[in-house]
Amino acid sequence: MEAALTGMDAEKAIPTQKDAMVAILDPEKEMLK
């Protein structure tokens, strides 16, 4: 249960991690921002 909560919290509390992944996967999109 703790792992599930951590996963959900991570997505909401740490959007920068998602942005970092997007920047690595899609650098062109990140440059257009």
Q: Inform me whether the pLDDT recorded for 1 exceeds 60.
A: no
Summarize pLDDT for 4-33 with one digit per residue, the tens. 555 566 556 556 777 777 777 776 765 666
- The answer to whether 18 touches 25, Cβ cutoff 8 Å, is no
Flag whether the pTM goes above 0.75: no
pLDDT of residue 11: 58
* DSSP calls for 1-33: -HHHHHHHHHHHH-HHHHHHHHHHH-HHHHHH-
Of residues 27 and 1, which shows the higher confidence score?
A: 27
